[in-house]
């Protein structure tokens, strides 16, 4: 299991929720690999790299983070997601 969160997610407390998930997995000796990546400066929109991060939802939702922080999280997390999937699907 691989979880990603922006530390400044304004839609819901994803960083805290991710920490709770990891803690529960550890407490119950989850037998599979689990990793959690939290990105400072990123908001709710951590996802695909190299896409615009300056366009929101026309003010409908507060996503949090900065465009630069979210772009950095996207660029850093994407190869880690691909590596995780490659290893998990072998």
pLDDT tens digits, 16-50: 999 999 999 999 999 999 999 999 999 998 988 88
Q: Where are the domains of the chain?
A: 2-88
pTM: predicted TM-score of the whole model, two decimal places: 0.86
pLDDT band at 82 (very low <50, low <70, confident <90, very high): very high
Where are the extended beta strands (E) located within 1-90? 2-6, 35-39
Torsion-angle region of 37 (φ positive above 0: left; ψ -120 to 50: alpha; else: beta): beta
Show Cβ contacts of residue 6 under 8 Å, excluding neighbours closer than 6 positions.
14, 15, 38, 39, 41, 42, 43, 44, 45, 46, 64, 65, 69, 70, 73
Residue 72 has pLDDT above 90, yes or no: yes
Position 55 confidence tier, pLDDT thresholds 50, 70, 90: low
């Amino acid at each position: 299991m691989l979880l990603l969160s922006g530390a400044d997610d304004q839609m819901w407390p994803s960083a805290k929720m991710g920490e709770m998930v990891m803690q529960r997995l550890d407490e119950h000796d989850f037998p599979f690999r689990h990793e959690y990546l939290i990105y400072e400066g990123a908001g709710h929109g951590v996802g695909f790299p190299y896409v615009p991060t300056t366009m929101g939802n026309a003010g409908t939702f507060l996503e949090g983070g900065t465009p630069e922080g979210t772009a950095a999280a996207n660029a850093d997390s994407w190869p880690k997601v691909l590596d995780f999937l490659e290893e998990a699907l072998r």
